Amino acid sequence: KNEVEQSPQNLTAQEGEFITINCSYSVGISALHWLQQHPGGGIVSLFMLSSGKKKHGRLIATINIQEKHSSLHITASHPRDSAVYICAVPQEGAQKLVFGQGTRLTINP
């Protein structure tokens, strides 16, 4: 089974700060997903990446396949970025995703 660990579990920062959320997994993968879950429960897929870096607005996701590690960065953070950020990877040998526990991010004005 592919184990997924996210850190930190909770993160509180001031508006404008640079945010980094980390994800480590135990087994080699084809692609990694970053998801954002808002307080109401709805989930939005942010990125799916298999190598290098992807950028979308103020969000940047990087992955190091050799080190089995990915990071999600938020530049110029804003209170509306407050959400739970979830990392997910495929389970080895199975068509299912394994999810991290999530990182609860709170951005204070």
Three-class DSSP category at 88: strand
Question: Do residues 75 and 18 lie in contact, with contact meaning Cβ atoms separated by under 8 Å?
Answer: yes
Cβ closest to other proteins, residue 14 vs residue 45 = 45
Residue 14 Cβ vs other proteins, minimum distance, rounded to whole Å: 26
Q: Does 86 bind other proteins (CB under 8 A)?
A: yes
Taking the complex as a whole, the smallest distance from the CB of residue 64 to other proteins amounts, in Å, to 21
- Calpha distance 21→32 (Å, rounded): 14
CB proximity list for 37: less than 8 A, separation 6 or greater: 43, 44, 83, 84, 85, 86, 102
| In the complex, minimum distance from the CB of residue 96 to other proteins, in angstroms, rounded to a whole number | 5
Binding mask 43-72 for other proteins (x = CB under 8 A): xxx--x------------------------
Contact window for other proteins (CB under 8 A) among 11-19, 20-28, 70-78, 93-101: 93-101
Hey, what are 82's tokens? Answer: 């407050």
